[in-house]
Structure 1
């Protein structure tokens, strides 16, 4: 098996202790359906291009540069080389600023994962000691790193024989839960309904197994493409959900019966006399 391709190489640094590490992408889109944009007139692929907003002329890559808009129509030009020359320690070093308890991590902020592995054999001992110490303390290291010319806050935690680095969303990227949840009310409900719902949940408790996940949208795309290729009609669209449940008690009891769940202490139906 070929060695994994690193997207970043540098050093993991905790205090005065450091070791060489590599980041390897933990996700892949290789198996996903990808579409090309076609010209409806002749069915041929079209290319995207940057055009001058005023003249409409295509601008060659050599004539393109980045610009930051100060005010409407007023830009400061930034050359790619100027960005590359920025001296950031995080471009080559994952310096741990602090440790947080893994159990306290707000999962809303977790974004994109990468595997962290030792850069070479010389880094293996230090890397392993740091990983095991973090595992025993159930701690995750908070740091920042420059990836793809962008500074990113990250969290590093033990993962098997290696570590897992996860990009973090910033606080400014998150919508406040108050704007969404504060107007919700807690309706009154019968404790009996809560018990029935709990029984349904208990029936379906399992372990999270990502290998069982199915991308139903991707599957539907494949089925549609296959049907068009064979000159058949596309599969029927999925049925829309029904309206809100009106008689919750009745629906929950029917669900219990369908799942074959018997309630403790529930009265058995009486037989009719002959």
Structure 2
């Protein structure tokens, strides 16, 4: 149970100082208990790798007008508010991100929490025709994002398999026809096939 958890700090090996919830609350300032805005920035200036979790931001009673003024001002200028607050036992950087019908509070990782890329992908020289084909593939598969069209199909299969086991039946292998999602394709495979198809034309042009 959460009430049974003791918060402590090991200041020497096997020596701890414990802190009660009341003591922890005493060191929090009023600013720590609220979301206080530090600055404003362009939406595009924060790399997506810094985003951690999303929360719905709602105004306190009496602050609805200020909330709406902030939302509309940010949305019209395509900017975000960078803020800080204390969540649990740590101070968090937060982005207040405007939407058409509200604000999302996105917690951020600090820079020293971001792991380095384990392997850098080398920059490859690209032929214009190759890049044009890649752009064409992207363009042909572009359509509006509708969240309701997507669901966790694997979880559905897992639940069905569990029900089969409960009923005493064997779990049957899922038939894989190579393209189970209809129009879903392997992007890299499609690009590779496009490049292979362009090969003879490139050679013919060079002869």
TM-score interval for Structure 1 and Structure 2 normalised by the shorter chain: 0.7 to 0.9
The 3 A distance-change label for structure 1 pair 79 and 92 is closer
The one-character-per-residue Cα deviations of 1:52-81 (angstroms, maximum 9, x if unpaired) are xxxxxxxx93xx522222343232222232
Name the structure 2 match of 1:33.
none
Q: Which has the larger radius of gyration?
A: 1
**Alpha-carbon RMSD:** 3.3
Name the structure 1 match of 2:105.
165
Name the structure 2 match of 1:214.
151
CA distance in 1, matches of 2:65, 2:21: 38
Residue 123 (str. 1) matches residue 63 (str. 2): yes
The one-character-per-residue Cα deviations of 1:14-51 (angstroms, maximum 9, x if unpaired) are xxxxxxxxxxxxxxxxxxxxxxxxxxxxxxxxxxx9xx
Contact 1:223 1:235 in 2 (8 A): no
Contact 2:134 2:191 in 1 (8 A): no
Residue 201 (str. 1) matches residue 141 (str. 2): no
TM-score (norm: length of structure 2): 0.73
The 3 A distance-change label for structure 1 pair 85 and 204 is same
Name the structure 2 match of 1:85.
26
Contact 1:94 1:143 in 2 (8 A): yes
The 3 A distance-change label for structure 1 pair 200 and 66 is same
CA distance in 1, matches of 2:190, 2:147: 32
CA distance in 1, matches of 2:38, 2:14: 40
Deviates more, 1:212-221 or 1:96-105: 212-221
Query: How many residues align structurally?
Result: 187
Name the structure 1 match of 2:194.
252
CA distance in 2, matches of 1:85, 1:249: 59
CA distance in 1, matches of 2:76, 2:129: 43
Map 1:21-36 to 2 at 5 A: none
1:97 to partner: Cα distance: 0.7
CA distance in 2, matches of 1:103, 1:188: 27
CA distance in 2, matches of 1:83, 1:118: 25
CA distance in 2, matches of 1:164, 1:127: 12
Of 57, 64, 80, which residue of structure 2 is paired with 1:140? Answer: 80
The 3 A distance-change label for structure 1 pair 139 and 191 is closer
Contact 1:65 1:80 in 2 (8 A): no
The one-character-per-residue Cα deviations of 1:153-188 (angstroms, maximum 9, x if unpaired) are 1000222232111111121221123x431xx32445
Name the structure 1 match of 2:181.
none
- For structure 2, the 5+ residue unaligned runs are 179-188, 202-207
- For structure 1, the 5+ residue unaligned runs are 1-48, 50-59, 242-246, 257-262, 267-274
Matched residue SS, 1:103: helix
1:140 to partner: Cα distance: 0.7
The 3 A distance-change label for structure 1 pair 233 and 118 is same
Residue 228 (str. 1) matches residue 165 (str. 2): yes
Contact 2:6 2:20 in 1 (8 A): yes
